[in-house]
Amino acid sequence: MTQKQATCVAVALFVLPLAAAQCVRVRTKAPHNSAAAVWYHVPQGYDAMRRKPYPVLVYFGGRNCSGEKEASGNLGWDKWADEHGVFLVCPGFQDDEYWEPQKWSGLALLNALAEIRRAYNINDRRLCYYGYSAGSPAANLLAARRPGRCAAWGSPACGVFHEPRANMRGVPALVTCGDADSARYVISRRFVEKSRRLGIDVTWKAIQNHPHDVPPDSLALSRAFFAHHLGLDAGDSAVFVGDDQTNVYYPADSAEAAFIPALDRETLPGRELAEAWGSADNADTRVEVSDGERTESFAVDGVEFSVRAPRSYTGSSRIAVLFGGRGWAAERTLSEFGLSGLADRNDLFLLSPSFRDGE
């Protein structure tokens, strides 16, 4: 039997060779799910004699997915599960508002996990939840239904979230969305802000120039996130702080981190998680600027700007915006303020607009 072969049986658990996706069916009262399928992937190297139970990632695919494809390698989660020793459990629920776990799907999932635990040593008391598209709401709504049984959850490209409540403190969350997925982007950002005001731990990442999809950057971040919160990464105790506006992260105790506004701050525990989230500060890389390239002009929405570069700069160099008098051209502002020497000594860029009278 090959890696992609799969067999599904009703009610009871039938154990197949570990390379295959396997399935249990559970009885429900939902009209389209009288025998709901839940597929799962057993990680390679599974050791039945291991004392510590194996962690579980409950993985929802798109709307009305079968679960079989997700357990058999869709988006590459099977390889991640094999590498880290994680069971993938992939519900194949159909319609009947399965994304609302209090109606029937939450209990159905727990019953399926209990069946799997009869044959395999899994930890079904502390679950991780992940989903994409229509599976994304299912992931976070399940986490909120029983937060005491959730180790972490992730909802990329999500359009429906639970109402943040204080009982979700201590349950790490990951929310990502493409900035071109405009409606979901606004919904996701609002959820993150409301959650953080309640002290809930939410890692946020905007994926630039992406519509409603699951881009590689989101997948890499999700995998690093779950590995960290399951204790499966390198165990690096370093903490970093990311800047949402630049996607650059800094050591948490650095001066650069201290200057990041609260709304733009991302706390990133562990180097692997930080590297998946963004780019490291390149403050140690110094760029020398020749005299002929010190000043440059450009236009934005019909407004002309001039920028003067210092003699050299690093990734942490800052920008000072200078506004001149009425009708001043940008070049006049840069010269008459007399800040060139100060800018060179402090690796400071000087930026000035050319505003005409009445603008």
Strands (E), the chain: 21-27, 35-41, 54-60, 87-91, 122-131, 150-156, 173-178, 202-207, 239-243, 248-251, 265-269, 279-280, 287-288, 295-300, 303-308, 312-313, 319-321, 349-354
In the chain, CATH 3.40.50.1820 sits at 21-233
pTM over 0.85: no
pLDDT tens, residue by residue, 226-237: 999 999 987 778
In CATH terms, the superfamily for domain 21-233 is Alpha/Beta hydrolase fold, catalytic domain (3.40.50.1820)
pLDDT at 2 over 80: no
Could you tell me what percent of the chain has a pLDDT over 90?
Answer: 68
Rounded Cα gap, residues 351 and 313, in angstroms = 15
pLDDT at 326 over 50: yes
pLDDT at 11 over 70: no
pLDDT at 8 over 80: no
Phi, psi of 63 (to 5 degrees): -55, 130
The pLDDT assigned to 312 comes to 87
First to last CA, the chain: 73
pLDDT at 277 over 50: yes
Q: What's the average model confidence in pLDDT over 172-200?
A: 95
- The closest alpha carbon to 76, from 132, 118, 6, 30, belongs to 132
In the block, which residue shows the tokens 């570990």?
18
Lowest-pLDDT range, 112-121, 131-140, 194-203, 254-263? 254-263
pLDDT at 242 over 60: yes
pLDDT band at 352 (very low <50, low <70, confident <90, very high): very high
Mean residue pLDDT across the chain: 89
- The closest alpha carbon to 128, from 230, 250, 35, 213, belongs to 230
Kindly compute the dihedral angle of the four CA atoms of residues 296, 298, 300, 301, in this order, to the nearest 10 degrees.
150
Q: What's the average model confidence in pLDDT over 294-313?
A: 88
Tell me how far apart the 2 most distant CA atoms of the chain are, in Å. 82
Lowest-pLDDT range, 71-80, 245-254, 279-288, 307-316? 279-288
Q: For residue 110, count CB atoms less than 10 angstroms from its CB and return exposed for 0-12, middle for 13-18, buried for 19 or more.
A: middle
pLDDT at 325 over 70: yes
Q: What's the average model confidence in pLDDT over 36-40?
A: 97
The pLDDT assigned to 4 comes to 39
pLDDT band at 166 (very low <50, low <70, confident <90, very high): very high
Kindly compute the dihedral angle of the four CA atoms of residues 56, 215, 242, 316, in this order, to the nearest 10 degrees.
150
pLDDT tens, residue by residue, 202-227: 999 999 889 988 889 999 999 999 99
Rounded Cα gap, residues 225 and 155, in angstroms = 12
Phi, psi of 9 (to 5 degrees): -125, 160
Rounded Cα gap, residues 232 and 222, in angstroms = 13
